[in-house]
Amino acid sequence: MQKTWAVALRIALVCLGANGAVQAEEAAPDLANLRYSPLKEITTENVSRLTPVWTFSTGVLRGHEGAPLVVGGVIYVHTPFPNIVYALDLDHDGKILWKYEPRQDAGVVPLMCCDTISRGLAYGDGKIFLYQADTTLVALDAKTGAPVWSVKNGDPAKGATGTSAPALIKDKVLVGVSGGEFGFRGYLTAYDVKTGAKLWRAYSVGPDADTLIDPEKTTELGKPVGKESSLASWQGDQWKIGGGAPWGRISYDAAENLIYYGTGNPSTWNPTQRPGDNKWSMAIFARDVDTGVARWVYQMTPHDEWDYDGVNEMILTDASGGRKVLTHFDRNGFAYVLDRADGDLISADKYDPAVNWASRIDMDKSSKSYGRPIVDGAYSTQQNGEETVTHGVCPSTVGAKNANPAAYSALTGLFYAPMIRLCMDYEPFQITYAAGQPYTGADTAVYPEKGETNMGALIGWDAASKRVVWSDPEPFAVASGVLATAGGLVFYGTLEGYLKAVDARSGKELYRFKTPSGIIGDVTSFERNGRQYIAVLSGAGGWSGVGLTAGLTHSDEGANSPGVYAALANYTALGGQLTVFALK
């Protein structure tokens, strides 16, 4: 099922799907997570003529993340809980072909950390794959919407929920699990695409037998990780409730037969309660897709003290000289570039100059701290202690960039990253674990970076020169997925609800349109009957818009992002809608 870019270019219908993947007539996914469309009817010269051609209301409030999925003449749309799936006819202005609404216990809603979102669907083998909030993975007949098979991937009673988009790779459907804020021990699972049978499961933390780590063959920074590397980095049985949930996107290199993904925060947020590096939370894993065995792993934020989940997407490109690399814009504010075959760390640089929790990543291979962040004690919540507020930590727990994906264009050689310009106060405290109950152990307060009136930006990043080439400020965090196109454009959405198009080389804004609600969805492009379309889901929510979804419309209501984003109520309202654009 894997297609090269040359093949993908020859297929009549191309679209960027929910997993940052190109979907087409034959569903050839962009598993490199480039989020680049080869379509070029819409250009820098004519994008000003872009106009909505039809819309569709999902009938669901809360945050609409991910992207619609296009296969043939059908566009598949998903919603937040209750996770409705619609199949719409592209040739008849979105006529509803079928609707699937799962029956779920609404008791799962309070367990969902950051709104009731779903990050999208996957397609393959004639099936649409939906990962429900209650961790049910269901395969639907793409033509009729009838369920073919379903499996349960976790136990909500213990805090497990499903928010990520499934990834279809070879004969497998891969899904992670959310629940790190409830002390749920995270894992990635591979299921058979035809039957739903479980093929393998790899935990993020715990014994080698659970993490599918070979102590001699699995490496970190070129050296074997050693026997029981995860257990040795936890105190006692803390690993059993250690978090490390992999709820982000998954990439795949067919030549290496490796998948790449990141793991989330260790539990609890109070670092004093979990001495050690807490491996392998906050890490990038490279695993054999057929066996799940890890070839290499790299921990970005050992003994996390700030909730910098490492789940952001891995973008696979070829660097100068043809070296196969992985680029990762982490929540901690550093952009990492690694050799994706062996995990060699090539570079690690701040992509937000305001980052202060660490001065740098040690790149001296002869140093004992090689590959580790050099933490500034003034911003160490561990060193400052429990029930002590650490002020002015940048970035905030939301990250310098969250899980909404960046894009890469081979035309410019630039990455386009959606930014969050927020800092925080952080106060850890003792907490007792109880299954199914929040297990955070910290209070946070979030606010704009010092001297900044804007809380977000879209940046053009040059990985070769390790610098921001241009930056477009935004009043609120940029929480949508970015799309680059062969027309020389970069598309993204804003929390106020604007779809914007900018020049890929300069960042100059060329187009904007106000949709009915804030955009946290991923912009997508597809072709039908010789015409290029742009599509995006509106629907304010997610972590960045949780204040609006929770009804916190005054700045003194709530902590963290609710207070920061209270002003959103002056610009947008809740509501889910698909908007499809084309040239006049």
Per-residue pLDDT, 23: 40
Query: Is 125 a known ligand-binding residue?
Result: no
CA distance 160 to 439: 13
Residue 320 has pLDDT above 60, yes or no: yes
CA distance 387 to 343: 38
Q: Among 398, 431, 510, 523, which Cα is nearest to 37's?
A: 523
Per-residue pLDDT, 15: 39
Per-residue pLDDT, 385: 96
CA 514 to centroid of chain Cα atoms: 24
More confident site: 356 or 118: 356
**Phi first, then psi: what are they for 210, rounded to 5°?**
-85, -40
Per-residue pLDDT, 582: 98
Query: Within 120-273, where are the H helices?
Result: 208-211
Three-state DSSP state, 129 = strand
Per-residue pLDDT, 115: 80
* pLDDT, average across residues 557-574: 70
Cβ neighbours around 119 below 10 Å, total: 27
State the distance between the two ends of the chain, measured CA to CA, in whole angstroms. 35
Per-residue pLDDT, 554: 56
Per-residue pLDDT, 552: 63
Model confidence over 118-138: pLDDT tens digits?
899 999 999 999 999 999 999
Query: Is 307 a known ligand-binding residue?
Result: yes
Strands 483-485 and 36-37: parallel
CA distance 57 to 516: 10
Choosing from 134, 208, 307, 472, the catalytic residue is 307
Q: Among 119, 121, 37, which Cα is nearest to 85's?
A: 121
Residue 563 has pLDDT above 80, yes or no: no
Per-residue pLDDT, 176: 97
CA distance 198 to 175: 11
Per-residue pLDDT, 143: 97
Per-residue pLDDT, 285: 98
Q: What is the DSSP string of 142-166?
A: TTT--EEEEEE---GGGT-B--SPP
What is the dihedral angle through the alpha carbons of 146, 61, 178, 458, rounded to the nearest 10 degrees?
120
Q: Among 100, 64, 52, 54, which Cα is nearest to 576's?
A: 64
What pLDDT band is residue 562 in, cutting at 50, 70 and 90? low
- What b/e sequence results for 152-161 when a residue is b if at least 16 CB atoms lie within 10 Å of its CB, and e otherwise? ebbebebbbb
The residues near 204 (Cβ < 8 Å, ≥ 6 apart) are 185, 186, 187, 188, 211, 242, 243, 244, 245, 246, 263, 264, 280, 281, 283, 285
Per-residue pLDDT, 322: 85
Is residue 329 within 8 Å of 406, Cβ to Cβ?
yes
In the structure encoding, which two tokens stand for residue 428, read together?
């850890």
Query: Is 181 a known ligand-binding residue?
Result: yes
* pLDDT, average across residues 278-290: 98
Per-residue pLDDT, 26: 37
Query: Is 45 a known ligand-binding residue?
Result: no
The kind and range of the H/E element at 86 are strand 85-89
The residues near 320 (Cβ < 8 Å, ≥ 6 apart) are 464
CA distance 16 to 34: 10
CATH classification code of 36-583? 2.140.10.10
In the structure encoding, which two tokens stand for residue 208, read together?
């080698």
Query: Is 404 a known ligand-binding residue?
Result: no
Residues of the chain with pLDDT > 70, as a percent, come to: 92
CA distances from 158 to 161, 433, 451 (A): 9, 11, 42
Instruction: Give a three-class secondary structure readout of 473-509.
Output: EECCCCCCECEEECCCEEEEECCCCEEEEEECCCCCE
Cβ neighbours around 272 below 10 Å, total: 15
Residue 357 has pLDDT above 70, yes or no: yes
What pLDDT band is residue 10 in, cutting at 50, 70 and 90? very low
192 tagged catalytic:
no
* pLDDT, average across residues 479-497: 97
**Phi first, then psi: what are they for 383, rounded to 5°?**
-65, -35
Cα angle vertex 357, ends 179, 339, to 5°? 70
Per-residue pLDDT, 561: 56
What pLDDT band is residue 116 in, cutting at 50, 70 and 90? confident
In the structure encoding, which two tokens stand for residue 266, read together?
């260790």
Model confidence over 49-107: pLDDT tens digits?
999 999 999 999 999 999 999 999 999 999 999 999 999 999 998 999 999 999 998 88
**Phi first, then psi: what are they for 7, rounded to 5°?**
-65, -45
Residue 389 has pLDDT above 90, yes or no: yes
Residues of the chain with pLDDT > 90, as a percent, come to: 83
CA distance 161 to 247: 10
Per-residue pLDDT, 145: 98
Query: Within 141-244, where are the H helices?
Result: 208-211
CA distance 542 to 523: 16
Model confidence over 21-65: pLDDT tens digits?
334 333 345 899 999 999 999 999 999 999 999 999 999 999 999
Half-sphere exposure (Cβ direction) of 43: Cα atoms closer than 13 Å:
4
What pLDDT band is residue 570 in, cutting at 50, 70 and 90? confident
Query: Is 119 a known ligand-binding residue?
Result: yes
More confident site: 51 or 559: 51
Half-sphere exposure (Cβ direction) of 373: Cα atoms closer than 13 Å:
28
**Phi first, then psi: what are they for 78, rounded to 5°?**
-115, 160
Tell me what the pLDDT averaged over the chain comes to: 91
Residue 481 has pLDDT above 50, yes or no: yes
Q: What is the DSSP string of 528-565?
A: ETTEEEEEEEE---TTTTHHHHTT--STTSSSSHHHHT
Is residue 298 within 8 Å of 338, Cβ to Cβ?
yes
Q: What is the DSSP string of 309-371?
A: ---S--EEEE-GGG-EEEEEE-TTSEEEEEETTT--EEEEEESSTT--SEEEE---TTSTTTT
Is residue 79 within 8 Å of 58, Cβ to Cβ?
yes
Q: Is 255 exposed, middle or buried (0-12, 13-18, 19+ CB in 10 A)?
A: exposed
What pLDDT band is residue 566 in, cutting at 50, 70 and 90? confident
Residue 8 has pLDDT above 50, yes or no: no
Residue 281 has pLDDT above 90, yes or no: yes
